[in-house]
């Protein structure tokens, strides 16, 4: 035991213990091994710069050769995002109600809904796309389903949070009126949670637009496949057209959702 | 008539309501007074069943309210409307929808879910708003209204339930004196004109004296006074609020005590941090 006449110093003045020291060394070693594992090398990066310059140089001016095809693929990409998000939002609403502690009919539903949402959220959408390509075949439907599942995970979580944070006083007033659970949700919980839920849904649409570009790479429809083909055939001017088109679409969707957000909230 | 028989509510080891028995006549206007924590609020909430009694009976006719469940409980709640200190309106909905919400107990699932109301229900809601003199605010959002206006919307919501009884839990504690008077006038008018029983919890002794023909005093979860305002003399007020309060300052007893408690809590806080 330490000398009782001297009060112990607060912990922050203490030297790191043996365990902390070992953990620090282990963390450092982990990082160094990760650097080696990824082949991270400044020299190779500098050697790569001329290649980057050459590719970017070949990208300009963008080629208008397959503009019509790119346009259709872009439209399909947006359609996937729109339908996938809408279906995801619609399905995540009931799931989120089950996953809200004070609204769920039974703890079993609560835990089941939370587990499902966690599963949908943690498995990346690209993996869902691979699964659905096998299940329903190549094409935009597989990508749409992948987006839907991903959005159920995303919206389910944030809808549940919004409903949990909704003002409880009006809900109590409604219970005092004799309203049933569904009425309380429709008349008090949803109005309070709506701004947050609209926000989440619009953000989902933006995210879905970006991810639906990538889903094409695994054959789940959309413009991704066009980009991949152009890059593999070294048609960089064509690739740049596609990249600019994607850029324009994502910006347009973001602008649209910002406008809608201002209007609705 | 509402008969409450030996009603108890315990939170852990403390008794919030301790063996309360009281009869409330149909069409009466009863004021319940007492300090914060005297059990007034818990008593009211048990009558509506927002709180479940630990033991005892609440009899409305031959129905034991304390044991109601499901649809029967919802039907009882529809008949006994509640008014809250914080109004408890749905802030983002407009005034008339907040009043229509009072009909939810009578409706089937799908129209409730879609928040669709019939023309007759809308007409009723407007009439209820007219009763509390704010029909012109019907389309405004609830959170744009002043406290006094919001409380009158809450009263209109209660009226749209077409209740037999209104339970008002500190309806004027968050309001300025003028709004408080309007709200109490409205409750008294409804009580007289419609014969709806009104039970109202009040901090304000003067309000209780002015508006209620019967006053019930609670202290420590028990009823310690029950009578007409003229029986509420200095001795009776001391019984309800404690020895440190005179009849004149009785109204502020709960409040000043609260301030004192908070000040003591603040004085304690640094010490707790030091430990």
Prediction ipTM score:
0.82
Pairwise CB contact (< 8 Å): A192 & B81: no
Q: Is B115 left (phi over 0), alpha (psi -120 to 50) or beta?
A: left
Residue B158 in domain: yes
CB contacts of A186 in chain B (<8 Å) are: 112-115
Is the CB of A192 inside 8 Å of chain B's CB atoms?
A: yes
Q: Which of A93, A173, A187, A193 to mutate to test the interface with B (most CBs of B within 10 A)?
A: A173
Residue-number span of the structural domain to which A199 is assigned: 67-264
Nearest CB among A167, A176, A194 relative to B77 is that of A176
Q: Is residue A167 part of a domain?
A: yes
Strand partners, B197: B165
CA A106 → CA A97, A102, A103, B186, B246, distances in Å? 11, 10, 9, 41, 52
Q: Which DSSP category does A65 fall into?
A: T
Instruction: Please report, for the domain that includes residue B244, its CATH number.
Output: 3.40.50.300
CATH code: domain of residue A93: 1.10.3720.10
Alpha helix stretches (DSSP H) within chain A: 18-37, 42-59, 67-98, 107-122, 125-136, 140-165, 168-177, 181-184, 190-215, 224-232, 236-264
Minimal-distance CA residue of chain A relative to B111: A183
Mutate to test the interface with B, among A177, A187, A197, A265 (most CBs of B within 10 A): A177
Whether residue A124 lies within 8 A of chain B, CB to CB, comes out as no
| CB spacing of B112 vs A179 below 8 angstroms | yes
Counted domains in chain A:
1
Task: Compute chain A's Rg from CA coordinates.
Answer: 26
3-state secondary structure B1-26: CEEEEEEEEEECCEEEEEEEEEEECC
- Taking CB atoms and an 8 Å cutoff, what residues of chain A touch B150? none
Residue A73 lies in a domain: yes
Residues of A in contact with B76 (CB under 8 A): 178
- The number of helices, as runs of H, and strands, as runs of E, in chain B is 10, 10
Token output for B265: 């809590």
Looking at residue A12, what is its pLDDT? 62
Residue A224: what pLDDT?
Answer: 85
Which pLDDT tens digits describe chain A residue by residue (265 residues)? 445 566 666 666 667 788 888 999 999 999 999 988 888 888 888 888 888 888 888 888 887 778 888 889 899 999 999 999 999 999 999 999 999 999 999 999 999 999 999 999 999 989 999 999 999 988 899 999 999 999 999 999 999 999 999 999 999 999 999 988 888 999 999 999 999 999 999 999 999 998 888 888 888 888 888 888 888 888 888 888 888 989 999 999 999 989 988 887 6
- Under an 8 A CB cutoff, do B104 and A179 touch? yes
Q: Which residue in A177, A191, A194 is closest to B105 by CB distance?
A: A177
Enumerate residue ranges in chain B where pLDDT < 50. 247-275
In a domain, B243, yes or no: yes
Residues of A in contact with B50 (CB under 8 A): 172, 175-176
Residue A39: predicted pLDDT: 85
Q: Is residue B275 part of a domain?
A: no
The shortest CB-CB distance from A176 to any of B48, B90, B115 is to B48
**What pLDDT is recorded for position A62?**
81
**Å from A179 to nearest chain B CA?**
5
What does DSSP assign to residue A186?
I
Domain assignment of residue A168, yes or no: yes
* Nearest Cα residue to B28 out of B188, B157, B173, B154: B188
Pick from B169, B220, B239: which is nearest to B38 by CA? Answer: B220
A95-109 pLDDT tens trace: 999 999 999 999 999
For residue A16, being part of any structural domain is answered with no
Of B49, B52, B90, which to mutate for an interface test with A (greatest number of A Cβ within 10 Å)? B90
Residues 6+ apart with CB under 8 A from A81: A147, A205, A208, A209, A211, A212, A253
Q: Which of B81, B92, B157 sits opposite A194 (nearest CB)?
A: B92
- CA-atom Rg of chain B in angstroms: 20
CA distances (Å), A17 to each of A1, A14, A23, in order?
A: 17, 8, 10
Nearest CA in chain B to A193: B92
Residues of B in contact with A198 (CB under 8 A): none
Interface test with A, best of B44, B82, B86, B101 (most A CBs within 10 A): B101
Q: Residue B81 and residue A75: Cα distance in Å, rounded? A: 55
B230: distance to nearest CA of chain A, Å? 34
Residues of A in contact with B105 (CB under 8 A): 177-179
In a domain, A159, yes or no: yes
How many distinct structural domains can be found in chain B?
Answer: 1
| pLDDT at residue number A227 | 87
User: How many beta-carbon pairs under 8 angstroms link A with B?
Assistant: 82
In a domain, B229, yes or no: yes
Cis peptide bond upstream of A172, omega within 30: no
Residue A11 forms contact with B (CB below 8 Å) = no
Nearest CA in chain B to A173: B88
Tell me whether residues A174 and B101 touch, CB distance under 8 A: yes
* Cβ-based contacts of A187 with chain B (< 8 Å): 90, 93, 101, 104, 112, 115
Within-domain flag for A27: no
3-state secondary structure of B81: strand
Mutation site for B-interface testing, chosen from A105, A163, A170 by largest number of B Cβ within 10 Å: A170
Q: Which pLDDT belongs to residue A9?
A: 62
User: Could you say which of A169, A174, A186 has the minimum Cβ distance to residue B115?
Assistant: A186
Distance (Å) from the alpha carbon of B166 to chain A's nearest alpha carbon: 11
Cβ–Cβ of B91/A192 closer than 8 Å?
A: yes
Query: At CA B175, angle to CA B168 and CA B257, rounded to 5?
Result: 85
């Amino acid at each position: 035991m330490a000398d009782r006449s001297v009060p112990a110093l607060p912990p922050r003045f203490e030297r790191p213990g043996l365990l902390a020291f070992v953990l620090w060394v282990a963390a450092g070693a982990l990082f160094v091994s990760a650097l080696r594992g990824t082949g991270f090398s400044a020299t190779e990066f500098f050697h790569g710069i001329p290649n980057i310059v050459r590719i970017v140089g070949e990208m300009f001016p963008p080629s208008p050769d397959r503009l019509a095809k790119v346009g259709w693929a872009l439209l399909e990409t947006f359609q996937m995002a729109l339908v996938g998000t809408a279906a995801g939002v619609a399905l995540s609403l009931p799931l989120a109600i089950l996953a809200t502690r004070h609204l769920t009919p039974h703890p079993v539903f609560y835990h089941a809904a939370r587990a499902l949402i966690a599963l949908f959220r943690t498995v990346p959408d690209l993996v869902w796309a691979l699964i659905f390509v096998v299940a329903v075949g190549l094409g935009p439907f597989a990508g749409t389903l992948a987006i839907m599942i991903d959005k159920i995970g995303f919206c389910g979580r944030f809808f549940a949070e919004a409903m949990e944070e909704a003002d409880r006083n009006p809900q109590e007033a409604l219970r005092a009126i004799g309203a049933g659970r569904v009425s309380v949700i429709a008349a008090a919980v949803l109005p309070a949670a709506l701004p947050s839920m609209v926000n989440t849904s619009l953000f989902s649409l933006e995210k879905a637009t970006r991810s639906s570009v990538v889903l094409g790479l695994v054959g789940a429809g959309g413009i991704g496949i066009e980009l991949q083909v152009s890059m593999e055939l070294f048609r960089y001017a064509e690739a740049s057209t596609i990249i600019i088109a994607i850029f324009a679409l994502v910006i347009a969707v973001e602008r649209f959702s910002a406008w809608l957000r201002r209007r609705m909230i | 008539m509402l008969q409450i028989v030996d009603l108890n509510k315990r939170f852990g080891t403390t008794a919030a309501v301790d063996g309360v028995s009281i009869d409330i006549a149909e069409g009466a206007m009863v004021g319940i007074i007492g300090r914060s924590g005297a059990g007034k609020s818990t008593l009211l909430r048990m009558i509506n069943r927002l709180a479940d009694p630990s033991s005892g009976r609440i009899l409305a006719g031959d129905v034991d309210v304390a044991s109601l469940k499901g649809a029967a409980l919802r039907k009882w709640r529809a008949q006994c409307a509640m008014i809250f200190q914080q109004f408890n309106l749905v802030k983002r909905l407009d005034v008339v929808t907040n009043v229509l919400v009072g009909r939810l107990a009578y409706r089937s699932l799908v129209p409730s879910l879609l928040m669709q109301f019939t023309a007759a229900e809308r007409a009723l809601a407007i009439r209820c708003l007219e009763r509390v003199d704010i029909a012109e605010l019907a389309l405004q959002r609830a959170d744009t209204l002043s406290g006094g206006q919001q409380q009158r919307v809450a009263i209109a919501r209660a009226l749209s339930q077409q209740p037999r009884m209104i339970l008002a839990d500190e309806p004027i504690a968050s309001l300025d004196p003028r709004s408080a008077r309007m709200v109490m006038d409205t409750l008294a008018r409804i009580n007289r004109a419609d014969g709806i029983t009104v039970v109202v919890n009040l901090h304000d002794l003067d309000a209780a004296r002015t508006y209620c023909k019967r006053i019930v005093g609670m202290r420590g979860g028990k009823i310690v006074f029950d009578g007409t305002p003229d029986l509420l003399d200095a001795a009776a007020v001391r019984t309800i609020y404690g020895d440190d309060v005179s009849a004149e300052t009785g109204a502020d007893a709960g409040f000043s005590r609260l301030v004192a408690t908070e000040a003591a809590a603040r004085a304690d806080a640094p010490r707790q941090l030091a430990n």
